[in-house]
Structure 1
């Protein structure tokens, strides 16, 4: 048998660890904590289109126990979940963890706050099973995705598409605050992030018809154009490429609020979900920007906080910054658990 050089050996080990550790549940001994329920085995399954999905793909090892992370959400992630559940009571809100996740007897306060809503469901995914019977099953089994330099981001990009392909519904990033109901918005929509790009931070696809066709097209594009060294290649760039093909145009602004031009798929303008663009993310955290930001987002369905830029900036509870005001109103239970900082 030929010998593997060190680089190939390390890569093989990484792929094998990724597929087994993330995709499979470890056998439990008497001393292990229980896993949270697997989505595919759950008694509560996603409804036909009446679902909001969040995905958590940070599967880093727990520093002390050397086991996978315990069930947790940051306060801001929990705020996103609560705001979705609060404003959309007829939807099931699923938080999907892409790794074996353990549940302690005493739940962290943000998690406990979200579970105060009967429509919030926390589930883990067994990835090898989850991708079965999808267009990317064999590609995923090859381990190609683990060559990514941005595995947490690219796994999130991947799983939102697999989830919408399987169930239909609405995918939402965890760095948002939902401001009002989406229950009466017809399915199959996304929104411009700018004049040139359709974002994938909010994506609605029905389980049948054009929604399912778009989900399939996105998955095939993910496989065919996968580039693990390009941060946005599988995210907004992918959705934009698919929209160009499906809608037969590169003039994305012409599609805004015009379902007739894109097979009943709707493209919202940026004000619906991204009224404060990524360059102005600090405005969410400055008390002096409260009135202008509230005015700018008064007709928005949600606000996007641009976590990649804002995650290290903490907010004092009661600071009257825009984010503080949004959180107090739209995720009150989580806000009450935050302590001094949010």
Structure 2
């Protein structure tokens, strides 16, 4: 009997050793980065090792669930591993569902290079937080996703803003690792060639790529992080873009359904990136790319005539719907002297959201309590962020 037991143990030990030699044993180098943002209610009580109650991947809690008995040190606890979609998963985060009512914002500052090399970024600045909060308030039936390429920065500036934003039950945060995220898209092999690393505008071009890949993967609506959303967006449908000018379609806001013409547009946009990516030009892979793709879809129609009837169900909306004033007039948002006329232009012109033209306006402060139009909009449409932002917004 003892002899047989020894033989059995020897066989078992040998088998385990063979598995380890073949590389099939447990990995010790799984990514350990944490998603930086969590809801205010879960920041100190959620356990990163719990499994989802909704059947999603381990390490992801269904919205509104938590492990109240555990209070791990988030900065020291091992983080979740990268899942098959290219996300780093953490507590109280929910993967997008294909074809669902998804609304996406993307922070691409850390997409290229090593995001851990001494970069100290705010968890979320106030204007970004205002965009996300205003979208969540105006669209309570949508799931609003904040996808970030940056790692956790516990204790950084803006952490309170992030907590306010993620206190909304329909707002979720996920950290994205670019190459893994693109792996199951037509850009999977292209991203490994390093063209993006050689771009003159890596942050902007990463954002161009990520928004198109996200809509290709899941479908939904994408918005830039410098909007203030004023009205529900559901009535616009899913397959639409917005004219930035008479000859250009913007990629600041883009709705693409997961099937039909939206899926076709997403596929064509990724194909255009593969064939004609140009890292030397700022807007070539963004609004100009979208304009080229839609021109083909709409039979060469000018932007002003890209209607659903001419574009097989895809519509290009008039500029006023999201750009009540064009970029040369961006300073109107900061001018107290023109406050009344600017607010009337914004609120009484059928505008769904206001674009702040952040590339031009980001250095101009918004003073809390002032009559600057940006401050008035923030107080009304993103009240939690506005109240937590301090003296300047």
**Aligned residue in 2 for 1:279:** 328
**Deviation for aligned residue 1:132:** 1.9
**Aligned residue in 2 for 1:264:** 313
**Deviation for aligned residue 1:183:** 2.1
**Aligned residue in 2 for 1:211:** 262
The farther-off stretch of 278-287 and 48-57 is 48-57
**Aligned residue in 2 for 1:329:** 380
What's the secondary structure of 1:249's corresponding residue?
coil
What's the secondary structure of 1:174's corresponding residue?
coil
Distance 1:37 1:295 in 2: 49
**Deviation for aligned residue 1:49:** 3.4
What's the secondary structure of 1:95's corresponding residue?
strand
Distance 1:280 1:36 in 2: 45
Write out aligned runs for 1:93-104 (5 A): 93-103=144-154
**Aligned residue in 2 for 1:57:** 108
Which structure exhibits the higher relative contact order, with contacts defined as CA atoms closer than 8 Å and separated by 6 or more residues? 1
Write out aligned runs for 1:300-319 (5 A): 300-319=351-370
**Aligned residue in 2 for 1:161:** 212
Q: What 5-or-longer segments of structure 2 have no aligned partner?
A: 1-29, 35-73
Distance 1:305 1:106 in 2: 22
| Residues paired across the two proteins, number | 313
The answer on whether the counterparts of 2:146 and 2:173 sit within 8 Å (CA) in structure 1 is yes
**Aligned residue in 2 for 1:247:** 298
Distance 1:163 1:201 in 2: 14
The farther-off stretch of 332-341 and 100-109 is 100-109
Pair member with larger Rg: 2
The answer on whether the counterparts of 2:322 and 2:354 sit within 8 Å (CA) in structure 1 is yes
Q: What 5-or-longer segments of structure 1 have no aligned partner?
A: 1-23
CA RMSD of aligned residues (A): 2.5
Distance 1:173 1:203 in 2: 9
Write out aligned runs for 1:212-231 (5 A): 212-231=263-282
How big is each residue's C-alpha offset from its partner over 1:201-249, in whole Å with a ceiling of 9 and x where there is no partner?
A: 0000001111011001111111211111100001110111111111112
Distance 1:35 1:341 in 2: 34
**Aligned residue in 1 for 2:94:** 44
The answer on whether the counterparts of 2:33 and 2:151 sit within 8 Å (CA) in structure 1 is no
Distance 1:70 1:290, change over 3 A: closer
What's the secondary structure of 2:164's corresponding residue?
helix
Distance 1:75 1:107 in 2: 7
**Aligned residue in 2 for 1:144:** 195
The farther-off stretch of 209-218 and 47-56 is 47-56
The answer on whether the counterparts of 1:128 and 1:141 sit within 8 Å (CA) in structure 2 is yes
Q: After TM superposition, where is structure 1 displaced by more than 3 Å over at least 4 residues in a row?
A: 24-28, 30-43, 65-71, 99-107
Distance 1:273 1:31, change over 3 A: closer
**Deviation for aligned residue 1:131:** 0.9
